[in-house]
Amino acid sequence: MGDDAILEAMRTVRGCLPGLVGDAEAAGIDRELADLLVSAADAAEIIDQGLQVLQRDEAVAEWAAAFLADGFPPDVRALIEERERYSGLPGHGEPPPAARRCACPNGDFVRWRRGGEPLSVFNVATGRVTPVRSR
């Protein structure tokens, strides 16, 4: 497992935390990961501390292990496998992508958008993922 994969797991798990540990605990874990990801500390130290945060809770540790094995969130695996089995009618094009990776320009948050799912934002103050309203 490479350093980049661990950093990517740290970025990606942030949006999944409420579903893994509940809203109350998610905000604290998210704050720790966010602080590490924007830290000016040595990369090895950031990765070491990030791994400690990822391994502290059993559900988060299982999620991280699956992410590091596949390179994407565990729930995306089923979507990718389903898309690979898709065989639509000839001449009707391809199905939409199973999931798309959306990264924050600051480099501290990654969200996987599943199929037609609306874009969403993780609110650090509330610890909740909320949909982005279209104008």
3-class SS at 87? coil
Q: What pLDDT, on the 0 to 100 scale, is given for residue 59?
A: 96
Which residues, at least 6 apart from 88, have a Cβ–Cβ distance to it below 8 Å? 94, 95
Tell me the pLDDT tens digit for each residue of 69-111.
Answer: 988 888 887 776 766 665 655 666 665 556 667 677 666 777 7
Global pTM value: 0.70
